Structure 1
Amino acid sequence: MDASSVLESVLIGMADLFGVDGAALMLLDEEDRLRAVGATDDDGLLLESAQESVGEGPAIDSASRCDLVAIRDLHAASPIGYPHLAAYAAPVHAVLSVPLIEGAELIGVLDFYARVGHAWGPAEAEAGSHLGELLVIVLQVLAESRTDAPFSGQ
């Protein structure tokens, strides 16, 4: 199984475990910009791609603050929603963005999302944080397995 398949399976498992419609991942590139990496479905990819192109959203704010961002409904007026982003990511309403920290460094953001409005409680915020920590470990293992693999000439 290749790294992208493993990552997709992990995101699907996390969304199922968390009881949400999906999960999506953005990682920082070489220029410290968040880039869409994967998601459980097309709605998640749409959400991440929209944040990337619009330059705003819960993941962007989560990364800039290095803190959880819980949005009940993207479609709500600012400052509690992101109506401009919602126009591009219409199926998604509620988002919980979890910063991914490796050591002391931000490496990306994990987004959990629902297709209906949802108030994220403290227990969900804590669970999301723990799943984010788990995903950092998975990403470390995937990175190590790539460097440990024998050279294939590709």
Structure 2
Amino acid sequence: MASDASSVLENVLTGMAGLFGVDGAALMLLDTQDRLRAIGATDDDGVLLESAQEHVGDGPAIASAASGGFVAIQDLHADRPLGFPHVAVHALPVRAVLSVPLIEGGELIGVLDFYARAGHVWDRTEVEAGYRLGELMVIVLQVLAENRTDRAPSGQL
């Protein structure tokens, strides 16, 4: 079951990156201690980006989760506050990142990151598209969670 969910998430992230026209997409969800944890990505660069943010405890996704709003980074390697160079050194070759919060029932559940290997200025329409794809990701996560509970052995809740 877990591998089925992982496969679905990988396919959804790949599809979202393709629709968005970026190099990749990655997902971080809050754990039981309200810390963002890397869940999946379209490729190794996305895994590095999410792992770096998790390890360093900072980055666009963490800033997005803290603010509850989007974070658009043109060049991850730029000095703060325009970039996150301490994350960038662990996340080569990612340059640009758009992080959007994932909200379910008024509560933050995670962050969806879109990234490019070249510097990129994120415009208003891209931010709006990121939010819409974030809403879709929440629905995908809800369906995956429902499927997991629906498959519980008979007699268990």
Q: Report TM bin, short chain.
A: over 0.9
Identity of aligned residues (%): 74
List gaps (5 residues or longer) in structure 1: none
Alignment equivalent of 1:80, drawn from 70, 79, 82? 82
- Give 1:103's aligned residue: 105
- Give 1:40's aligned residue: 42
- Give 1:143's aligned residue: 145
Alignment equivalent of 1:125, drawn from 102, 127, 133? 127
Q: Deviations over 1:29-66 (max 9, x none)?
A: 00000000000000000000000000010000000000
* Counterpart-to-counterpart distance in 2, 1:69 and 1:104: 19
* Counterpart-to-counterpart distance in 2, 1:38 and 1:117: 23
Alignment equivalent of 2:95, drawn from 88, 93, 96? 93
* Counterpart-to-counterpart distance in 1, 2:153 and 2:121: 48
Q: Deviations over 1:71-113 (max 9, x none)?
A: 0000011110011111110210000001000011000000000
TM-score (norm 1): 0.97
List gaps (5 residues or longer) in structure 2: none
What is the Cα deviation at residue 151 of structure 1? Answer: 2.0
Q: Could you list the runs of 4 or more consecutive aligned residues of structure 1 that deviate by over 3 angstroms after TM superposition?
A: none
* Counterpart-to-counterpart distance in 1, 2:109 and 2:80: 27
What is the Cα deviation at residue 150 of structure 1? Answer: 3.9
For residue 2 of structure 1, give the secondary structure of its aligned residue in structure 2.
helix
- Give 2:8's aligned residue: 6
For residue 52 of structure 2, give the secondary structure of its aligned residue in structure 1.
helix
For residue 40 of structure 2, give the secondary structure of its aligned residue in structure 1.
strand
